[in-house]
Structure 1
């Protein structure tokens, strides 16, 4: 089931009632710190575990995200669609009339689609606005995701008068974390990974966010459950396509490059394992390209797609993001359930119109709405955004990616169902979960050889990959990643139909 609003939501214990630029404004649901960013998931009665037709037992617990259906995100993260360049992202971040700055992972030229990229862009936007601001300026930050909170925190710490205007009832945006006893702790419904981004690492440590090194060990199975040795045929075809695309002045889609480079048609003749190069190309796309970008290869830039981003070692957040969100939001004036519908930029300031009909007048504004939201008419700008900003929003893509969490009685997908992928000895000798600052430099990769990432070849998978995240053998947990059109399709289903489709996708991974 998907996680919806919290039982208590954002505390409504303080109201912002101030004369801002001569306009009396009351913003409901405005906190002065101590927010509760963790929504409580809705839960249907837990199904009784019993084998399905494909041998997959019913889970003890089920949670999922549905970012493409969220009107305040319209997707999971931005990606480089055809024609995208780092310069486009940078231009989207340029100040407008010295009063408005757009920020978020979508404006990051170095780390788009990442938590540390969003955080760094929030800090960058705050510093830009601070350089432009006059003494006594009131500043609004639209959006209480990681970029918005980073911007507001930076400005507040510098002594500026800041208010955060958030459309939803919770804080954290796409870093949503819920507490669920059935999973033994926090469940992250957004990004489950953290990098060693220079700006983010210290604040993770200060907030006490616990991470665990995650070194992907991939096991590939066929639809009948046979474990097969991975082939590079698919990635070789993609490399050929990208080499061809790099020699062209005009960007094309990855699909177009595959065709025009001659990488496809690709042989459909099966080898000794019953699999063809065509099968492996489909595997590379569905389990690599699509979960990395959230998009089909028909939309992905052949010149900009980076294969090195696929399943690289990183760190998994095991304590959830709540501590980080709490730390950034502490003491900030935050107006929840306040949807900004219009932004008017003038010589004397910036006017914000809310969906309630209320207005707010500020001197400077930082907008951290996602690229997906900026593509819609959710927020209108008067005057319209500059042409370079409009082009960036039009060209950049917004990917669809969701996670599904399943808790089971037994780890039926493991070769040794009694073991743990991270080795139960870790728990016997003390947990390895620790705040992000515990290690200097690069996160050490694990030395485990047991598979912890499961993918499918020989058919198009509904779930791009399954991650074995049940470190504690007493709590076998799988994390499924849905991507591109599969994510959008499953997001449209109700919980019962979504769970049925997801369990069917698990059938090849039921231990033979």
Structure 2
């Protein structure tokens, strides 16, 4: 594999000169780097020694890993979502070629599968086909970004015979599908999505790359702040459905929060029902453990018309071996310039000029841009001339959600009713009802019941807040959120 960079021991400048030699590097003058440090993932050590209980009875984890995508300057979020005014047509418009020289691609340009791995992969293939149709046989092509979209595009173009270089801002491959090895976990730790929502469309791709998956059928288990198990209720979702039905009849899109108020769906009753919980309790649960982890955004930002409740905790496939096999297969043999952030893109009749954060410049004939919506909507990368108005509108309208994962390994599965999770209907998605949680949901993803693993999902403003904390402070916050799920082995409360 020729995916080289700082981790490979080759000095960044020497590597960049070598990788871009075939793409007519114009200037390799020495310049102070001044680039921001990526913050996802941070170097987090696995705790040593025997676990000890926290004041709330939650044992200390044997191992701890987390992502911080919203604080990463090269990503600035986790997934795109449909904010007010976002439509499939707008996403499709964002992916249209610019001056027959440049194509933007990523999960955000997928009209039907935004925010998914298979959507991101398919958009890489689409971008490659589109740019290849515009290119001359001897054209040189650059790809910005070594995530799954960029690598899929580059792999396809190289296989078609084009000269391609991939320019990656961070020092790792895979983008938001970053997988790391940690001695505290039996299996690879996926710091992006541990799921592939449509395994069918990628089944052969994953199999060829040796990526192992298993079915994951979500069983939601709500608990109250006192640790009492509650039967799931649709009361909160009924409130949201009422607001969405009202929104569909309006001439223009509004935020879900606006629809809830204007439709009269809220305020809801705070009178406790037979389960000791009110409609208000279940409504908050639907927002914080449903809407927010699905979109990475609060109801004040999510489109009332476009949000799809059917996407919340639907059956999917869990990637158990990590994404490394697929990423390495796509990257094999590619020229990849790591730790090299593009800061400027200039398009003219003859080609595309790129400016890097180091001050280096290069010239190419065509370009695929796979930077996230979170990056595109900042001035991290400037375009000359500016992108077409519809592209600009798409970038400013499509939202970028904040989602982070926290992986914890424990000696025992204190959250299960039986140690091995063999009880019928054992929940594998733990949520809090009756209070507003910091952790939107806890996923029981331990493949081996003898080595239990919980993955906490942080969403929206909670994800952004925790991303700014240091490791120890972040760990304390998430462990506090586990207190309601400490149970004695035996049947859960009715």
Alignment TM-score, normalising by the size of structure 2: 0.92
Residue 108 of structure 1 and its aligned partner are, at CA, apart by 0.3
CA distance in 2, matches of 1:480, 1:107: 28
1:331–1:382 Cα change, 3 Å: same
CA distance in 1, matches of 2:415, 2:47: 24
CA distance in 2, matches of 1:26, 1:154: 32
Alignment of 1:492-511 (within 5 A): 492-511=468-487
Alignment of 1:332-351 (within 5 A): 332-351=334-353
Structure 1 window deviating more from structure 2 (12-21 vs 132-141): it is: 12-21
Q: 1:374 aligns with which of 362, 373, 376?
A: 376
Alignment of 1:210-359 (within 5 A): 210-359=212-361
Match of 2:37 in 1: none
Q: 2:10 aligns with which of 6, 12, 20?
A: 12
2:436 is the alignment partner of 1:460: yes
2:418 is the alignment partner of 1:420: no
1:117–1:209 Cα change, 3 Å: same
Tell me, yes or no, if the aligned pair for 1:174 and 1:190 is still in contact at 8 Å: yes
Stretches of 4+ aligned residues off by more than 6 angstroms: none
CA distance in 2, matches of 1:209, 1:380: 37
Alignment TM-score, normalising by the size of structure 1: 0.89
Tell me, yes or no, if the aligned pair for 1:39 and 1:177 is still in contact at 8 Å: no
Match of 1:23 in 2: 26
CA distance in 1, matches of 2:41, 2:54: 31
Residue 301 of structure 1 and its aligned partner are, at CA, apart by 0.1
Q: 1:469 aligns with which of 421, 445, 448?
A: 445
Structure 2, unpaired ranges of 5+: 32-39, 489-494
Residue 18 of structure 1 and its aligned partner are, at CA, apart by 2.1
Tell me, yes or no, if the aligned pair for 1:406 and 1:478 is still in contact at 8 Å: yes
Tell me, yes or no, if the aligned pair for 2:121 and 2:148 is still in contact at 8 Å: yes
Report the RMSD for the aligned CA atoms in angstroms.
Answer: 2.1
Give the match's secondary structure for 1:183: coil
Residue 401 of structure 1 and its aligned partner are, at CA, apart by 0.3
Tell me, yes or no, if the aligned pair for 2:44 and 2:471 is still in contact at 8 Å: no
CA distance in 1, matches of 2:8, 2:186: 24
Residue 42 of structure 1 and its aligned partner are, at CA, apart by 3.4
Match of 2:136 in 1: 134
Tell me, yes or no, if the aligned pair for 1:19 and 1:25 is still in contact at 8 Å: no
Give the match's secondary structure for 1:200: helix
Tell me, yes or no, if the aligned pair for 1:420 and 1:472 is still in contact at 8 Å: no
Tell me, yes or no, if the aligned pair for 1:216 and 1:311 is still in contact at 8 Å: yes
Q: 2:458 aligns with which of 473, 478, 482?
A: 482
Match of 2:150 in 1: 148
CA distance in 2, matches of 1:331, 1:381: 30
Tell me, yes or no, if the aligned pair for 1:142 and 1:166 is still in contact at 8 Å: yes
- Count residues with an aligned counterpart: 472
Residue 24 of structure 1 and its aligned partner are, at CA, apart by 5.8
Residue 190 of structure 1 and its aligned partner are, at CA, apart by 0.2
CA distance in 2, matches of 1:171, 1:39: 13
Tell me, yes or no, if the aligned pair for 1:420 and 1:471 is still in contact at 8 Å: no
Structure 1, unpaired ranges of 5+: 1-5, 29-37, 424-447
Tell me, yes or no, if the aligned pair for 2:20 and 2:165 is still in contact at 8 Å: no
Residue 197 of structure 1 and its aligned partner are, at CA, apart by 5.3
